[in-house]
Amino acid sequence: MAFLSDLSGLLWGGPLLVAFLLVGGYYSLRTGFFQLFRFPVWWRASAGSLLRRRKGKKGAGVSQLQALSTALAATIGTGSIAGVAAAIFYGGPGTVFWMWVSALLGMMTGCAEKILAVRHREKGPDGQWRGGPMEYIRRGLNLPGLAKLYALLCVAETLVGGNLAQSNSIATALSAQVGTDRLAVGVVLAVVVSVVLLGGIRRVGRLSELLVPLMALLFLGGGLAVILTHVQAVPDALADIVRYAFQPRAAVGGYGMGLALRYGVARGVFTNEAGLGMSAIAHACADVEEPAEQGMWGIFEVFFATLVICTVTALVILTSGVYTPAGALEMIAQGSVPDSALGAPLTAASFATVLGGAGEWIVSVSLILFAFTSLLGAGYYGRRGLEALTGSRLAAGAYQLIFPGCVMLGAVADLSAVWELVDLLNGLLAIPNLLALLLLSPEALHLLGQWLRERRPAQAVSPGEEGAGDGSRRRGFRLRPGYRGQDGRRRARGKK
């Protein structure tokens, strides 16, 4: 574990943290902080569209809600429940502040990923859409070697962060709640996951669409009940979040800004995947014509996964009294940190301060179902990565056996080691994707600007204002008539 921790700490040092913040900051600045000042636009195009009846259509993919649900299922399980608890324990309350910062900037990173994923997707042998960083690196940048490197890292991450970490959290929760044997949990999970994955992205999307909204409402309802009961502790919790975010580390031990920044950004990235690119694999399967339209769902995904779910988890932990910075630091200094002080057990204990046994069950059921759907999403991502890497059906068949094997291994693995390895692989995975996002930024920004102008009624644009509403002229992503993308297709609405 010490080796993994040192290597992960080296990778997540200044350069990689700065890279995440800079890419998100670059897109935010170029769009005039679209995620903040154009909130009504992306909200109406994403969550708001669920209230409008759409004409049914059968295309070469899944619905936008199914794509979003699959992407959310692969992140808000262990990342937003167990991951936030572990980050607060090791990094202090200040980690929450840097999660917020990374999420705010990551909203535009996620938007760009989804735009490029839809822009450069292609149809597979089964007639369904497939895309993601592998495709926009290969087709957009014409760098097949870098695309294969990303695919290789994607396979590795799905076997660890999307598999070992998920099954580990499920087994830990069931073991703590009802004393279920962890190996037995792993065997059952492996069988069920294998059966569902055989149905492909459509089956994964349908199941995620059913489970994710219900479990999100269950978890948020219980969490808000705990926070409201401890509402008098909320101001102190918020003050601790800000104070520890900028606090210099004590001379001997203690939380400090460096730890908060490292754990906050790393866990924030894990909870929303902005910058990693894997959720773009699910969004590329959506039945949508305009790339920028799917980009709005990318913004909503980061908003909901981190700024909503993670904030509720953090405030529950920080207001319940179960966790205290002094107590956590003492356990870390002694080198004896029990499982009950980390991850899902810590979150469950915080819920139990108000809801008793029901609170523990809410956390356990939410985590189990979120983590289960996360396994499904990771299984699809990993298979897509292997297809892009080898193009071999034999390799894909072998993955169908390896993935369930990792599910069983994860159920009995050491939780701390798993999380350290997750951070390491996430850092490696981000490098080629962040590079691609920067190199392809002119295309992504252009597509966003064009979509925004096409949405505006002609009469709403006053003389001399054309292009200003979406920042296209002021910020450099100018709309060129008859623009053709890198594969020669015209991107005007209704034309291909």
pTM: 0.82
Give the pLDDT score at 52: 63
Pairwise CA distance, residues 146 & 152, whole Å:
10
Give the pLDDT score at 54: 52
Pairwise CA distance, residues 399 & 188, whole Å:
18
Give the pLDDT score at 85: 85
Pairwise CA distance, residues 426 & 370, whole Å:
20
Is 456 a member of any domain?
Answer: no
Is 246 a member of any domain?
Answer: yes
Is 194 a member of any domain?
Answer: yes
Closest alpha carbon to 130 in 316, 280, 250: 280
Encode pLDDT of 184-208 as tens digits.
888 888 888 888 887 777 777 777 7
Confidence of residue 3 (pLDDT cuts 50, 70, 90): low
**Mean of pLDDT values over 39-46:** 90
Give the pLDDT score at 4: 65
Q: Which pairing describes strands 129-130 and 122-123: parallel, antiparallel, or unpaired? A: antiparallel
Contact 140, 116 (CB under 8 A): yes
Count of domains forming the chain: 1
Number of C-alpha atoms within 13 angstroms, CB side, residue 120? 26
484 burial class (0-12, 13-18, 19+ CB within 10 angstroms)? Answer: exposed
Residue type at position 92: G
Q: Is the pLDDT of residue 480 over 50?
A: no
DSSP string, 199-266: THHHHHHHHHHHHHHHHHHHHHHHHHHHHHHTGGGHHHHHHHHHHHHSPPPPSSS---HHHHHHHHHH
**Mean of pLDDT values over 478-483:** 39
State the sign of the Cα–Cα–Cα–Cα dihedral 382, 388, 390, 394. positive
Q: Hey, what long-range contacts does 56-63 have (CB within 8 A, 24 or more apart)?
A: 57/287, 59/287, 60/123, 60/127, 60/128, 60/129, 60/287, 61/128, 61/129, 61/201, 61/285, 61/286, 61/287, 62/201, 62/202, 62/205, 62/285, 62/286, 62/287, 63/205, 63/209, 63/286, 63/287
Encode pLDDT of 349-380 as tens digits.
899 888 888 888 888 788 777 778 778 888 88
Is 468 a member of any domain?
Answer: no
Kindly calculate the radius of gyration of the chain based on its CA atoms and give it in whole angstroms.
22
CA dihedral 268, 386, 428, 186 (to 10 degrees): 60
Q: Is the pLDDT of residue 465 over 60?
A: no
Encoded tokens for 460: 């709403």
Percentage of the chain exceeding pLDDT 90: 25
Residue type at position 306: T
Give the pLDDT score at 149: 93
* Beta-carbon contacts of residue 8 (< 8 Å; ≥ 6 apart): 420, 421, 423, 424, 427
Give the number of other Cβ atoms within 10 Å of residue 338's Cβ.
Answer: 8
* Residue range of the domain that includes 119: 2-45+61-320+341-450
Q: Is the pLDDT of residue 491 over 50?
A: no
Better-predicted residue by pLDDT, 211 or 133 = 133
Is 435 a member of any domain?
Answer: yes
Encode pLDDT of 378-436 as tens digits.
888 888 888 888 877 777 778 888 888 888 888 887 656 666 777 788 888 889 999 99
Better-predicted residue by pLDDT, 200 or 235 = 235
Give the number of other Cβ atoms within 10 Å of residue 89's Cβ.
Answer: 23
**Mean of pLDDT values over 8-17:** 74
Confidence of residue 481 (pLDDT cuts 50, 70, 90): very low
For the chain, the first-to-last Cα distance in angstroms comes to 52
Beta strands in 40-157 (DSSP E): 122-123, 129-130
* Cα diameter, the chain: 70
Pairwise CA distance, residues 130 & 118, whole Å:
9
CATH number for 261: 1.20.1740.10
Of the listed ranges 41-55, 157-171, 317-331, 370-384, the least confidently predicted one is 41-55
DSSP 8-state assignment for residue 490: B
Number of C-alpha atoms within 13 angstroms, CB side, residue 8? 21
Is 328 a member of any domain?
Answer: no
33 burial class (0-12, 13-18, 19+ CB within 10 angstroms)? Answer: middle
Is 335 a member of any domain?
Answer: no
Range of 6-15, 257-266, 290-299, 359-368 with top mean pLDDT: 290-299
Encode pLDDT of 111-150 as tens digits.
999 999 999 998 877 777 888 999 999 999 999 999 999 9
Encoded tokens for 251: 């001379």
Is 494 a member of any domain?
Answer: no
